């Protein structure tokens, strides 16, 4: 399934070549998948000799995954099909009252509103900055939320960190091949990264992999609540950029920087792309700090492809991408051996919720790749 997903369309012969399975095995697997309705035959490709090869493709609308991103005051709901196409999205207010009950009600309303048959919905994944499959004691108690919801909705419910989910979502919707060493950087109020190796999210020993924000770029730098000093999050996150802007009288006089970190950050980012020299310098400097940390990650893991995503790149993403590409071109260790592709997310604000839904879809059709899922 994962090979068909990344290829878009593929013949049985190519499947056998790419997976190393025998032709009879492929024929059996393909027959079962067609009977299940998850793939179908679509046209033919000319063969050099003999009869034309029938091509196989994923039946996008056969099954769906639902992703919920829990924010401070709102909930983003997304539904995707088997190829990662978004079939529904809505943002609704969230209160602090009984979270499992609110989420259950939203799930029913959202899937009913989209007219998705319940037996085609493969599950729900919930993402939040503090959520991790292995850290279920942190407030809110995600383990309790997950168990309550699974019990009530009678479907699999997963819980995941936003940056990790976003990486899987970008991997899935971009049809990245599982042969690639793929990473994404999630720029938000904090900074996270997600890594996909061999088609699977890399989790580490305790689901803590990808804590890029706490990579130190200066040993005697700004103190960080994590205990370290000089963490890149203290220089390049949305919150750090807003703090710096609020300390600058010239910027505070021109831009609306009161309100939430998100709204203040968007005001800075908009000014930066509009050509405000001070705002541009501020964002470009943050991009420079981020580039130093990301280059270390690229070097450590020998990544070939990287996506910048998250709300922090929704407005001024090109400033971050340009700075990072220039830094990698000059300093990445593997730059003479292979290209390091830096891309910008097409849906940076929804990347985590789309990724959550992609986790559900991957657990459903390529379960061997989904590690650490309950």
| Residues in contact with Zn ion by the rule CB under 5 A | 214, 224, 226, 228, 231
Q: Which is nearer to Zn ion, 2 or 162 (CB)?
A: 162
Q: Which is nearer to Zn ion, 75 or 217 (CB)?
A: 217
Cα–Cα distance, 351 to 78 (Å, whole number): 10
Rounded least distance, CB 143 to Zn ion, Å: 25
Q: Which is nearer to Zn ion, 185 or 363 (CB)?
A: 185
Please, which residues bridge with residue 92 across strands? 75
Nearest to 266 by CA among 324, 348, 193: 348
Q: Which is nearer to Zn ion, 59 or 188 (CB)?
A: 188
Cα–Cα distance, 289 to 296 (Å, whole number): 11
Rounded least distance, CB 224 to Zn ion, Å: 3
- Are 146 and 158 spatial neighbours (Cβ–Cβ below 8 Å)? yes
DSSP secondary structure string for all residues of 185-246: EEESSSEEEEEEETTEE---SSS-TT-GGG-BS-TTS-B-TTS-BSBTHHHHSHHHHHHHHH
Q: Which is nearer to Zn ion, 64 or 235 (CB)?
A: 235
Q: Which is nearer to Zn ion, 161 or 181 (CB)?
A: 161
Q: Which is nearer to Zn ion, 231 or 366 (CB)?
A: 231
Q: Which is nearer to Zn ion, 56 or 232 (CB)?
A: 232
Rounded least distance, CB 35 to Zn ion, Å: 51
Cα–Cα distance, 56 to 246 (Å, whole number): 55
Rounded least distance, CB 374 to Zn ion, Å: 28
3-state secondary structure at position 164: helix
Helix (H), strand (E), coil (C) string for 235-296:
HHCHHHHHHHHHCCHHHHHHCCCCCCHHHHHHHHHHHHHHCCHHHHHHHHHHHHHHHHHHHH
DSSP secondary structure string for all residues of 125-160: EEEETT--TT--SSTTTHHHHHHHHHHHH-S-EEEE
104-116 b/e (C-beta count within 10 Å ≥ 16 → b): bebbeebbeebeb
Rounded least distance, CB 170 to Zn ion, Å: 24
Rounded least distance, CB 229 to Zn ion, Å: 8
Cα–Cα distance, 358 to 134 (Å, whole number): 19
Rounded least distance, CB 140 to Zn ion, Å: 22
Rounded least distance, CB 15 to Zn ion, Å: 45
């Amino acid at each position: 399934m994962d090979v068909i997903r990344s290829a878009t369309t593929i013949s049985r012969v190519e499947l056998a070549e790419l997976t190393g399975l025998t032709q009879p095995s492929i024929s059996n697997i393909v027959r079962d998948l067609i009977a299940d309705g998850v793939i179908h035959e679509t046209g033919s490709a000319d063969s050099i000799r003999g009869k034309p090869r029938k091509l196989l493709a994923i039946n996008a609308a056969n099954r769906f995954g639902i992703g919920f991103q829990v924010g401070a005051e709102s909930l983003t709901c997304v539904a995707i099909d088997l190829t990662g196409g978004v079939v529904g999205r809505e943002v609704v207010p969230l209160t602090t009252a009984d979270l499992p009950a609110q989420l259950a009600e939203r799930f029913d309303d959202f899937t009913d509103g989209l007219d998705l048959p319940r037996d085609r919905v493969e599950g729900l994944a919930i993402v939040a900055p503090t959520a991790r499959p292995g850290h279920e004691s942190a407030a809110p108690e995600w383990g309790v939320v997950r168990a309550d919801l699974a019990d009530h909705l009678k479907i699999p419910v997963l819980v995941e960190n936003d940056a990790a989910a976003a990486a899987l979502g970008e991997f899935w919707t971009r049809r990245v091949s599982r042969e690639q060493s793929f990473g994404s950087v999630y720029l938000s109020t904090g900074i996270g990264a997600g890594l996909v190796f061999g088609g699977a999210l890399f989790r580490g020993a305790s689901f803590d992999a990808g804590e890029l924000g706490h990579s130190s770029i200066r040993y005697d730098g700004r103190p960080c609540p994590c205990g370290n000093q000089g963490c890149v999050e203290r220089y390049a996150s949305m919150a750090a950029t807003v703090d710096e802007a609020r300390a600058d009288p010239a910027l505070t006089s021109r831009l609306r920087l009161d309100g939430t970190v998100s709204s203040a950050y968007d005001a800075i980012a908009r000014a930066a792309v509009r050509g405000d020299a001070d705002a541009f310098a501020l964002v470009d400097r943050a991009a420079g700090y981020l580039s130093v940390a990301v280059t270390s990650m690229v070097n450590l893991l020998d990544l070939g492809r990287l996506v910048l995503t998250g709300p922090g790149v929704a407005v001024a993403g090109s400033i971050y991408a340009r700075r990072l590409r220039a830094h990698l071109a000059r300093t990445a260790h593997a730059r003479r051996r292979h290209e390091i592709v830096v891309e910008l997310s097409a849906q940076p604000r929804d990347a985590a919720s789309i990724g959550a839904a992609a986790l559900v879809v991957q657990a459903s059709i390529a379960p061997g790749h989904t590690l650490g899922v309950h």
